Amino acid sequence: MLQIGDKLPAFNLMGYDNKLHSHFEYADKYALVVIFTCDSSEISQSYSKRIINLFERYEEDNLGIVGINSNNSVKSPEDSLEHMTKAAYKFGLDKLHFLYLKDETQEMAKQFGAQVNPEVFLFNSKRELVYKGAIDDAWENENMVTQAYLEDAIEEALDGIEPDFPEIQAIGTPIIWK
């Protein structure tokens, strides 16, 4: 389980585009958000557009965002690579250069210590974990958000400072383990 200050674990995972992708693809990013998410969770789905908006807002600031689906696709067929591909094209991820990867072995979720979908991990330019947990305080309705935890942490990370609140408990649907 990652703690604040820990380094980004290396990964090499299959993407919705049927290509292997590694952590090296983000070497030039000033900050990197890793989001454990899925297609079967109502909570994860409620954040899809918000995450894409964050990506678009901070792409010029050289922020990278990668989604990782660690759910067992045998128990949850909606989380298969085939369904992930459909979801990726539905949201236009191919046009955004936004990666959505499958953690078939669940090893990445275990290394990160992810427990729910969605759960975020923000790394600074040195690839040290500076924030983990919730995206905001209102998954049900974007218009009701009063605390944009992830966005605040991104702003601070891009400015080269430590986030004021490095850990906020993630609210989500439990990862479906093998």
| Separation of alpha carbons 37 and 40, rounded Å | 9
Instruction: Specify if 7 maps to a domain.
Output: no
Quote the number of domains for the chain.
Answer: 1
Instruction: Specify if 107 maps to a domain.
Output: yes
Q: Which range has the worst mean pLDDT, 11-15, 72-76, 88-92? A: 88-92
Domain that holds residue 96: 47-120+142-166
Residues 84-113: pLDDT tens digits? 999 998 888 877 778 999 999 999 999 999
pLDDT (0 to 100) of residue 81: 96
Q: Quickly count: other Cβ atoms within 10 Å of residue 174's Cβ.
A: 10
CA atoms within 13 A on the CB side of 30: 15
Q: What CATH number is associated with residue 154?
A: 3.40.30.10
User: What pTM, to 2 d.p., does this model score?
Assistant: 0.95
Instruction: Specify if 33 maps to a domain.
Output: no
